[in-house]
Structure 1
Amino acid sequence: MGIKISTDAWVSVDTVKVVAPLGDLLSDPFPDFSYGQKTSNKITIAVFGMRNKVEGRYLLHNLAIKHDPVKNVLIVEGSPAGILLGQNVFGERNPMVAGYAMLRYACEKLKLPISDQLYSRWAGGDFKLERVDLAVNFRLSNREKVTAILKQMGLQLVVQNVFMRKARTGIYYAPGKGAPYSIVCYEKGAEMQHRLRSVLARGGAIDRPYQRLAARCRNVLRIELRLQRQELKKLELIEANAWDDDIAHEVFKEYVEKMPVHKVLRVVERKEIWANAKTAGKLFMIAHQYYPGPMTDIYRGDSYKTLRSRYGKSWGVDLKVRPTALPSFIPSLQISDVQGNEAYPFSFRWVNAIGWDRLPTPPDTIVEGVTFNI
């Protein structure tokens, strides 16, 4: 039960934070950067470059750029696919490749004096990644199913008393407050429509391919894994050259599949379990499923915990959260009807326009071979 990520699911890199050494490049201030002093008790402890900004297409997916002349590093944070392709629905799967492409784009856009030798070092992964966001898009049959899933996931997290909060178009989960990683699940279409309205309200313009893509994402459930510096260091993935084409999928699968959104099971509906259970087990199933009060009304002392553990192991399920903890109008969804062969509605002219040596070749579908069982 729970979220299952198949071996061929396309995991895209979204936001990354790149910290790139400037090597022999002098640490003098860059032109057009504003610099300020960071002080403590009137004693200067460091001098940092203030954030600069490179605006993305439609004023979306901007890059935040900072130069630290003390550590002699350049810090760039943003979405490589967003800044280079004009959208972040799909993108490159290797954070090193994506991070370098974004880093080079930012330097060229700001006309920074970076040598070919330094670019070559960066291309080989000689920089750090202090944030990596990985994402998978689930295309479901309709938007109502997306909202129903998000509602059920949120309710399951609430009744388990884990750290979570509701975002504008979805839910945010972390294993604890201040945790070094988090998982965000949301309606991708609704988020893109919000961005569209924001751009139009500022007097901007958005071309038709992006509008069509936003419309096609109306029934897409997006799940993002956001890894911060501490977690990347723990995984030994803070160095960009530690990544390859497959690691992102492995990491995403490991973290998302252990997200606690699978702990509600309607065991009576599992025919194979019911057929093989003895009378005591069947009575436990019925009580677990339908009894409106606490199970300790029926099973005294520690007997409930003992039976819950025994049957859970025997049946291969988790019985910690009961279906009665959720409103009856939220179904126990079995999502196996993910639609494949859904081609993107426009050519990848944005990809071809940037002259990337290695194109972030997207799949022909938004999602392939993914099973999502709650």
Structure 2
Amino acid sequence: MKISIPRSEDVGIDTVTLRLPYVGDRLSTSYCQTITSDGEVRPGASHSISLKGKNGAHTVKAWHLPNSQELKIEGTPNGYVYGQNLFSDSNIHASCERMLRRMSRDDRLACVFTTNSWRSASVDRVDLFINLRFEDNREAAKVLKQLGLQFAAQHKSVAIYATSAYWNPGKGKSYQVICYAKGLQLQAKRQRMQTKNEFLDKITDEANGIVRIELRLRKPELEKLGLTALTAWEANTPRRLFRKYFERLPIFNVAWGPIRAEELGAFSMAERRFYSLYKLGAPLDEHYAPRIIRKYMAKFRSFGIDLNVPSATAEALQLGELFSASNRIATVPEWMLAAGRAPGVLKKIGRAEQRVLHRLRRRTRSTLGPTLDRDPPGLCAYLGEREPHFGRG
């Protein structure tokens, strides 16, 4: 099934796993050791260093791998930097640069990173996503229930849960597509945290009704695509990849209810006979050879109807129509950009507004003096400027 993604920024970056060359000192954590069969003790990887992000809601982990002289880093860059991963951007270079810049402010990693560290990084995993907005969490749960039925009907490697569905070609060793109710996930996470946080409450409300479609690309698939070097990723790469893999998903409309004259009008007589037997629940293998059944199944898929799914008695959600509507793609709300809690730039402002904001910058810095080494949250977004580069803070 094809999906319309009108803007490259509609595809976000979630979790990434990076490896960076590192020949420095051991990190301030314990290390593993391995003992060979002849009793030789060899140094192993370090235990992870965990770095809490903004609001403490997202953690990035770092490991030292002495044998390969590398650092391994895993986490969601935008969740770590902005305190939320509901909305992101498609610029993987900027996302990783921001993550490494924030990590460099931690005393345990202060001397590890430089401004251009990301340019030498290799990629072991990237998660890309889009958010589709439905009316509320209840409708999102219904959509996922229907999606789970359609995935299961394909007799492929899938995993179905109450509010999520996993499409796992080759048991998910190279890539997976995960569909889940983001609003319900954040709701459950907030309940577990048991702390008051106005921003996280607002994020949870913003996620109401969102179904996230997530493409998880692992190292074997990235090697096939020639995208293991971070510098190999271009501006349109996330959107191009997401379209390519989304088309492989068995998301179609399905048949429901009694046979209706209006739905038969576009079919040939032979197709009408096949479709009518299918809707009546007749055993198709008693009427057609396997080759003919496959032929008609493929034909109806070209019409956007999946006959692998048994015909429903009650009206069923037509996921082919629901998922293909580009106006369902959720975009970053302006309040989040203004608060500096999401990557991106607010709509263009006039010269008078720019002068006001520049005066605000000077006034803020004169008040806080040397304690402020960068602009207040959201000010760079208002001014349409890049955020500052590496520096302790």
Report if TM-score (shorter chain) is over 0.5.
yes
Tell me which residue corresponds to 1:364: none
Instruction: Tell me, yes or no, if the aligned pair for 1:182 and 1:226 is still in contact at 8 Å.
Output: yes
Tell me which residue corresponds to 1:122: 117
- The equivalent position to 1:241 in structure 2, one of 231, 236, 254, is 231
Tell me which residue corresponds to 2:86: 89
Tell me which residue corresponds to 2:308: 321
Instruction: Tell me, yes or no, if the aligned pair for 2:255 and 2:307 is still in contact at 8 Å.
Output: no
Instruction: Tell me, yes or no, if the aligned pair for 2:190 and 2:200 is still in contact at 8 Å.
Output: no
Tell me which residue corresponds to 2:65: 68
Q: Which has the higher contact order (CA 8 A, sep 6+)?
A: 1
Tell me which residue corresponds to 1:53: 50
- The equivalent position to 2:296 in structure 1, one of 297, 300, 308, is 308
Instruction: Tell me, yes or no, if the aligned pair for 1:5 and 1:257 is still in contact at 8 Å.
Output: no
- The equivalent position to 1:348 in structure 2, one of 339, 343, 358, is 339
1:321-371 superposed Cα distances (whole Å, 9 cap, x missing partner): 1442x5646433432473878835543234564989746xxxxxxxxxxxx
- The equivalent position to 2:317 in structure 1, one of 331, 355, 361, is 331
Partners in 2 of 1:259 and 1:65 — Cα distance?
Answer: 34
State the Cα distance separating 1:142 from its structure 2 match.
2.8
State the Cα distance separating 1:318 from its structure 2 match.
5.7
Partners in 2 of 1:34 and 1:15 — Cα distance?
Answer: 25
Alignment CA distance shift 1:262-1:114 (3 Å): same
Q: Secondary structure at the match of 1:296?
A: helix
Partners in 2 of 1:306 and 1:228 — Cα distance?
Answer: 32
- The gaps in structure 1 that reach 5 residues or longer are 360-374
Instruction: Tell me, yes or no, if the aligned pair for 1:141 and 1:338 is still in contact at 8 Å.
Output: no
Q: Secondary structure at the match of 1:151?
A: helix
- The gaps in structure 2 that reach 5 residues or longer are 343-375, 388-393
Q: Secondary structure at the match of 2:114?
A: helix
Alignment CA distance shift 1:344-1:165 (3 Å): farther
Q: Secondary structure at the match of 1:209?
A: helix
Partners in 1 of 2:127 and 2:179 — Cα distance?
Answer: 13
1:39 pairs with 2:35: yes
Comparing 83-92 and 99-108, the one that deviates more: 99-108
Q: Secondary structure at the match of 2:78?
A: helix
Written as runs of structure 1 = structure 2, the 5 A alignment for 1:1-374 is 2=1, 4-8=3-7, 10-22=10-22, 25-26=23-24, 28-30=25-27, 32-41=28-37, 42-114=39-111, 119-123=114-118, 125-167=119-161, 169-200=163-194, 204-206=195-197, 208-262=198-252, 264=254, 274-288=264-278, 290-297=279-286, 299-302=287-290, 304-305=292-293, 308=296, 311-312=299-300, 316-317=303-304, 319-324=306-311, 328=314, 330-333=316-319, 334-335=321-322, 336=325, 338=328, 343-346=333-336, 347-350=338-341, 353=377, 358=386
Instruction: Report the AA paired with residue 170 of structure 1.
Output: S
The list of structure 1 runs, each at least 4 consecutive aligned residues, that deviate by more than 6 angstroms after superposition, is: 266-270, 339-342, 354-357
Instruction: Report the AA paired with residue 348 of structure 1.
Output: A
Instruction: Report the AA paired with residue 215 of structure 2.
Output: L
Alignment CA distance shift 1:55-1:215 (3 Å): same
1:256-284 superposed Cα distances (whole Å, 9 cap, x missing partner): 2211232745697795x743433333222
Comparing 224-233 and 54-63, the one that deviates more: 54-63
Alignment CA distance shift 1:155-1:210 (3 Å): same
State the Cα distance separating 1:82 from its structure 2 match.
0.7
1:130-158 superposed Cα distances (whole Å, 9 cap, x missing partner): 11011111111233321121011101111
Q: Secondary structure at the match of 2:85?
A: coil
State the Cα distance separating 1:121 from its structure 2 match.
3.4
1:47-82 superposed Cα distances (whole Å, 9 cap, x missing partner): 211111111234321111111122221111101111
Partners in 2 of 1:270 and 1:141 — Cα distance?
Answer: 31
* TM-score between both structures, scaled by the size of structure 1: 0.80
Partners in 1 of 2:219 and 2:201 — Cα distance?
Answer: 34
State the Cα distance separating 1:317 from its structure 2 match.
4.4
Instruction: Report the AA paired with residue 20 of structure 1.
Output: L
Partners in 2 of 1:340 and 1:225 — Cα distance?
Answer: 17
Instruction: Report the AA paired with residue 301 of structure 1.
Output: A
Instruction: Tell me, yes or no, if the aligned pair for 2:127 and 2:214 is still in contact at 8 Å.
Output: yes
Partners in 2 of 1:258 and 1:35 — Cα distance?
Answer: 43
Partners in 1 of 2:121 and 2:76 — Cα distance?
Answer: 17
Alignment CA distance shift 1:157-1:194 (3 Å): same
Instruction: Tell me, yes or no, if the aligned pair for 1:16 and 1:95 is still in contact at 8 Å.
Output: no
* TM-score between both structures, scaled by the size of structure 2: 0.77
Give % identity.
22
Alignment CA distance shift 1:269-1:34 (3 Å): farther
State the Cα distance separating 1:177 from its structure 2 match.
1.6
Instruction: Report the AA paired with residue 130 of structure 2.
Output: V
